[in-house]
Structure 1
Amino acid sequence: MAVDPDDEALSWGDESDPSHAAAPSADAVEADGTASGSLALVAYGIFAGLYLLYTIGWVLASIRNPIPVGGILPVILYQFGEFLAIVSPALWAASVAVFTRHKRPATRVVWLLIGALVLIPWPFIA
């Protein structure tokens, strides 16, 4: 395997010297996981855009549907339900980010996919 001159600059000292630093190998770069990290970043961006669209869908669905009149308590509960529906995509994404912080990126993507299926704004679609 040919040694890149730029990588040679990253190593110094004799191999028996305790201050010796070896140049990074090609195996270390591949083991870093930069390719899977890039795919995860793209997936996070897609889910962020999808959740933003879901939030807009829930806002439009709540604007389109009139509030049922039947007393103060049902109106308050209905509006609270609309509020929870509107913020649910952001809450799901934030909770996935917090609770899967030390997990693999694939686990986080699976949970984001589950949220994308559960949080579909059906009133807006129908």
Structure 2
Amino acid sequence: MALYLLVFGVCLVVIAAVLLVLLTARTPRYRTEAKDLLALFDKALASQVSDAEWHTIIGYPIRHNEYLDGVRRRAAHLMDEHGRRWQIAQGKPLLNREGQEELQILRDHLAAHTALRERAMER
């Protein structure tokens, strides 16, 4: 009888610990921030980004920041209009020349917006 109570107690403690861990653990969330988009744009402009990396960040909606989601949608539109996915393997740019110019403008605009926002938060 003592062995039965010992096994029952150990099982109860293990099950309770597993339930406690499951109830307190949260699903990991990835939040795309302006610095992530800027780094991606810099890599794309330097022809160092892969198609998979581009679509991993640009294909994921940004729900916590409307402005960043607008930038993400504009970058996705640039890929649709000017993308050259088939030439990445040859070390060529992800976008054609016109797309590169528009991405540079988008990148500069995002950098300026981010700098203004950080400066406003410092005050």
TM range (shorter): under 0.3
Larger radius of gyration: 1
Question: Which structure has the highest helix share of the two?
Answer: 2
Q: TM-score, normalised by structure 2?
A: 0.28
Q: TM-score, normalised by structure 1?
A: 0.27
